[in-house]
Amino acid sequence: MNSFASHTELQLDWLRAFVAVVDAGSLSAAAPWVHRSQSAVSMQLKKLEDAVGRPVLLRGPRQLELTPTGQELLGYARQMLQLHADTWSALRGPQLKGKLRLGIPDDYAAAYLTPVLRSFANQYLGVEIELICEQTTALIPKIAQNSIDLAIISQHQPKRGTHLFAEPLVWVAAAQSAAWQRSPLPVALYEQGCIARMHALAALKAQRIAYRVAYHSPSLAGQLAAVESGLAIAAITRCSAPPHMQILQEKHGLPTLEAVNVALIRSKNSKGDAVVDAMHEQVLRTLRV
């Protein structure tokens, strides 16, 4: 590789952001992979390019393209990140083997689970992971019954689990829908006991907005299907809002929604299990703010 313009050391976080953007195809898509905001990812790329002395990505209106320097850097970046993962694995001692049951709601899985699984799998090839994608209201009883080992959940109680981050809730509507203009307001909601449902109804009642429950479903797919019909709006996590949907704000007459705290919990029977300990640490290292 040609010599860099400066002697600044390449930081792993910069390289991780660079590889994530290349693999995800955009800054916005890469941000959840490295659990950073889009602006933070952009800043990491700028620092990388300042250190290299040349652009590594050309940012077009619809896509990103690697420059010749970026093409050359990408292979080295992947090697450095893999070496870092291999080194970490070697220092942890013998390769772990076993089975792990991990629960997570659908809306968090798509946005946040990929970097956790990628890092974990690189270190522990001998671990089989069973994923249970259900809502928090179903995962908490499973943890209590020891039928799953770990779960990433919406934190209903402040002391339940280890806090990871706060996830914004947003109102969404179909792209060309004017459902938000109707009165009473037609809303699609999650099941009883879901914190997103509680926040949505509390916000509507606080603003004295008349509403009717048009649909309710325990799944994200059900919520999105109801919204896509154009007959209702829904309150969902920002990370799960499809890019083609409208994000409704105060200018649409909708109240701001309280963010949801996301936490990691584990079953009592999993205490002392080396495989569960390793995944617990991986989730905290990757997702905790």
pTM exceeding the 0.75 threshold for the entire prediction: no
Assign domain 12-90 to a CATH class.
mainly alpha
pLDDT of the residue at 92:
64
Name the band, by pLDDT with cuts 50, 70 and 90, for residue 189: very high
pLDDT of the residue at 288:
85
Whether 96-166+262-287 shares its CATH topology with 169-258 is answered yes
Of residues 86 and 171, more confidently modeled: 171
Judged on CB neighbours under 10 Å (0-12, 13-18, 19+), 241 is buried
Of residues 5 and 171, more confidently modeled: 171
Mean pLDDT of the chain: 88
In this structure, of 12-26, 83-97, 238-252, 266-280, the range with the lowest mean pLDDT score is 83-97
- For the chain, give every domain's residue range: 12-90, 96-166+262-287, 169-258
pLDDT of the residue at 1:
46
The mean pLDDT of 20-39, rounded to a whole number, is 80
Q: What is the Cα 41 distance to its own chain's centre?
A: 15
The mean pLDDT of 247-271, rounded to a whole number, is 94
The mean pLDDT of 69-83, rounded to a whole number, is 90
In this structure, of 32-36, 75-79, 168-172, the range with the lowest mean pLDDT score is 32-36
pLDDT of the residue at 3:
47
Name the band, by pLDDT with cuts 50, 70 and 90, for residue 51: very high
pLDDT at 98 over 60: yes
pLDDT of the residue at 201:
96
The alpha-carbon radius of gyration of the chain (Å, integer) is 21
pLDDT of the residue at 34:
77
The CATH topology of domain 96-166+262-287 is: D-Maltodextrin-Binding Protein; domain 2 (3.40.190)
Name the band, by pLDDT with cuts 50, 70 and 90, for residue 94: low
CA distance 179 to 198: 21
Ramachandran region, residue 25 (left: φ > 0; alpha: ψ -120 to 50; beta: rest): left
3-state secondary structure 65-105: EECHHHHHHHHHHHHHHHHHHHHHHHHCCCCCEEEEEEECC
Q: What is the Cα 248 distance to its own chain's centre?
A: 21
pLDDT at 187 over 50: yes
Name the band, by pLDDT with cuts 50, 70 and 90, for residue 119: confident
pLDDT of the residue at 9:
82
Which residues 6+ apart lie within 8 Å of 93 measured at CB?
A: none
What are the pLDDT digits (tens) for 54-64?
999 987 665 68
Name the CATH superfamily housing domain 169-258: Periplasmic binding protein-like II (3.40.190.10)
pLDDT at 5 over 90: no
* Torsion 170-175-181-182 (CA) sign: negative
- Bridge partners for 59 per DSSP: 64
